[in-house]
Structure 1
């Protein structure tokens, strides 16, 4: 009998641990404060370098690239501080940030970026739609640095339009006409090079490649702040930290309606806070990514520990999006206290992937989202976004709480998943979607929980009870 007690004690101990784990998992928001504590803004030395003291001219004509970059280097080598852009309009090519430097914009300041692709050479290691390559420098770039910032109430104007940068997309609505050069051949070639695992230094694009550079791209860097600036007219993605850690994007305003003009794309980055921002974009407002196909799977770094809060979304393909370049996976994504409202906002929450991409999305937690209107779907899962491949994706542990939609679009919830990989552990509680044509269209799901969830004023008790059209997919994995 005495030998029985240790075994009983061990069994009770294991049971109590399981119970605690289940209790923790039932409220995923308990993780939020511990993630927030990991995100800390860098500090900078109390030294300032005013660019006009070193010959810069804010007349919108003089090219200031060399002066700005030389000052950034000098500031970094002297222990760091601020490089200050005063009131005026400053023309520049590619700006490269260095460690311990805050590029600070005073009130009334503006940088207009050159429309000449030559001003973004020499090429640098970059990422383009989740694929590594040697390409034109991003407009503002940082590589393997730490403690950097872009701050202040200035305007960053990418100067792209239907005559500059955007036509390379090969879409007539962006100024392209038959016979004009475009990105199409390069995208096909780069995708094949990724598949063949060609070394990055041999994936050479730049001049003649017609792959538009991102606006701001820190790469393999850490301790980053981008705050208060306004960003307009991007050639391509706006904010794209790649393989970065400890990133704060605060009170940034992004208004740009060109092709692939995503607002903020944290890619394979960890411990990221996006707060108080305004997005009115030509593509996804916030899109979380982790690399495309082999480049994502080989590096195998997920997008992790990301907090999105107190933001406003207007136009865009999606408000909160994960994918499609998500081959490295994503986990612990939290979004709360957001406002969305535009007939040109296609979706509120969107997870997009495919068996070409693969990757596991594990843990998207959303609450307190107020939506005026949108176009297609409030909640959209799509495992068939790209052509099929050999890497079955997974989407699990999605929690949506207090989503309030005044007037929806075509769908409330729209799900396309594999039979072999259903959407798993999907919860919607205390939410309401009004004015939709189709409440729910779904195929493969597992462990879906609805609690006090209304669509068009009717309580939805289960996904089966409101599934208007179980859309079967002919594609087989």
Structure 2
């Protein structure tokens, strides 16, 4: 590779200029890199940043003290809410430790974590949450589809806490079903429940979004009749968060949803929920996040990175950034690794590697969804070493999601680099749909294979793609 070719390749990857410096995790310093003699070596230099992000995440640490919930009155088969929250309060006041859920099925309402508390579920423990909305009041400061409000408490919630965790080999059960929580979605797919216009989420969703666009203060975004299902686990404005080992089932809404949080690790978690909006892990406007060794088998996106919807996202103006996704397995879902659609605050420095995806019910592999009402700058997105077994659409960038081109905030994609992607079976290789006035650009595809693929798919308003070694059904592909 000539020096000119090296410069061009690094420019494509977003590393040219400024002495090939890697961007800072905090935005104020840089780590210098040395140019190499091949494109693969340049990729290796770039992926050092993923390792740097992981190394920069401040870990949790807990005192070696256990507070077993049965010692506070929790019993199998009865309402143990008071006992669990009493154990959390005692643990926090003692300086922290583990609140232990032993083997058995314990019923509870919302659980609010406090600083220095690790909620630990032992093997064969099940923490089963009531599906009774009134238990999740009074309202708390939360975010729903990228818009802040005073809403139902998430099932496991923490607000402005530090050094918190949910760990263990046990199960947290949300009890979402075709008769509880999920029918509030209204019409959905084949709609496996009786529709009831009175409880349709649109009755709350529409006025909430209107309030956000009008700039109504969050404290006034309160609804006497609220049909917005709560997420399962939501750390809000928290620092040093660990979610590890547990299985999450049948969530009312999104499963894991860190919002405006820092130093978050989600490791070895099984996300199994096939209801509406059962996104597996949705970090919103969070910084320094690691998602690794997790299983996603969900009714919506497996992992979706977000940063706020429309005016509310621009008001907070906080991107989701410095995220590493690695060694995960994606089965059913609307998308495997996804950015959007609530992406108005932007996304940057996102890495995904060594993931496997496959299911007849996996709609998309790599997905970006946005529009000109959302806007947002999506930059420095690097994906490599991904194996997709079966999927409908392999790579999707769609500027026409939901409202489409109905606003004045043009979405931007810069430095999206996909390398070493292998797709065994797909209906379509691509759905790339940009605007005529703002085509998709800044995309590079290196060493990408599409096998048993019915069609190339849709390429609409796409600027030149930097491509190396693309094949479709064994034949060289030139886009």
Q: What is the 5 A alignment of 1:307-318?
A: 307-318=324-335
Q: For residues 177 and 445 of structure 1, what CA distance do their matches in structure 2 show?
A: 40
Q: What is the 5 A alignment of 1:3-14?
A: none
Q: Which runs of 5+ in 2 are unaligned?
A: 1-15, 22-33
Which residue of structure 1 aligns with residue 232 of structure 2? Answer: 215
Which residue of structure 1 aligns with residue 401 of structure 2? Answer: 385
Which residue of structure 1 aligns with residue 248 of structure 2? Answer: 231
- Assess if the C-alpha contact under 8 Å between 2:347 and 2:378 holds in 1: yes
Which of 58, 76, 81 pairs up with 1:40?
58
Q: CA deviation at 1:160?
A: 0.9
Which of 442, 445, 455 pairs up with 1:438?
455
Q: For residues 110 and 232 of structure 1, what CA distance do their matches in structure 2 show?
A: 10
Q: For residues 397 and 303 of structure 1, what CA distance do their matches in structure 2 show?
A: 16
- Assess if the C-alpha contact under 8 Å between 2:70 and 2:83 holds in 1: no
Do structure 1's residue 166 and structure 2's residue 191 form an aligned pair?
Answer: no
Do structure 1's residue 297 and structure 2's residue 314 form an aligned pair?
Answer: yes
Indicate how the Cα distance of structure 1 residues 30 and 198 shifts in structure 2: closer, same or farther if over 3 A, else same.
same
Q: For residues 457 and 132 of structure 2, what CA distance do their matches in structure 1 show?
A: 48
Indicate how the Cα distance of structure 1 residues 435 and 198 shifts in structure 2: closer, same or farther if over 3 A, else same.
same
Q: What is the 5 A alignment of 1:186-201?
A: 186-201=204-219
Q: Which runs of 5+ in 1 are unaligned?
A: 1-15, 464-477
Q: CA deviation at 1:437?
A: 2.3
Q: CA deviation at 1:118?
A: 1.3
Do structure 1's residue 113 and structure 2's residue 158 form an aligned pair?
Answer: no
Q: CA deviation at 1:41?
A: 2.0
Do structure 1's residue 70 and structure 2's residue 86 form an aligned pair?
Answer: yes
Equivalent pairs, count: 442
SS in 2 for 1:365: strand
Which of 131, 136, 140 pairs up with 2:156?
140
Indicate how the Cα distance of structure 1 residues 17 and 401 shifts in structure 2: closer, same or farther if over 3 A, else same.
closer
TM-score normalised over the length of structure 2: 0.90
Which residue of structure 2 aligns with residue 10 of structure 1? Answer: none
Q: CA deviation at 1:448?
A: 1.2
Q: What is the 5 A alignment of 1:69-468?
A: 69-171=85-187, 173-205=191-223, 208-375=225-392, 377-387=393-403, 388-409=406-427, 411-461=428-478, 463=479
Q: CA deviation at 1:203?
A: 0.4
- Assess if the C-alpha contact under 8 Å between 1:64 and 1:92 holds in 2: yes
Q: For residues 136 and 214 of structure 2, what CA distance do their matches in structure 1 show?
A: 28
Q: State which structure, 1 or 2, has the greater radius of gyration over its C-alpha atoms.
A: 1
Ranges of 4+ aligned residues in structure 1 off by more than 6 Å: none
- Assess if the C-alpha contact under 8 Å between 1:395 and 1:422 holds in 2: no
- Assess if the C-alpha contact under 8 Å between 2:413 and 2:440 holds in 1: yes
CA RMSD of aligned residues (A): 1.6
- Assess if the C-alpha contact under 8 Å between 1:169 and 1:176 holds in 2: no
Q: CA deviation at 1:219?
A: 0.3
- Assess if the C-alpha contact under 8 Å between 1:236 and 1:261 holds in 2: yes
- Assess if the C-alpha contact under 8 Å between 2:336 and 2:365 holds in 1: yes
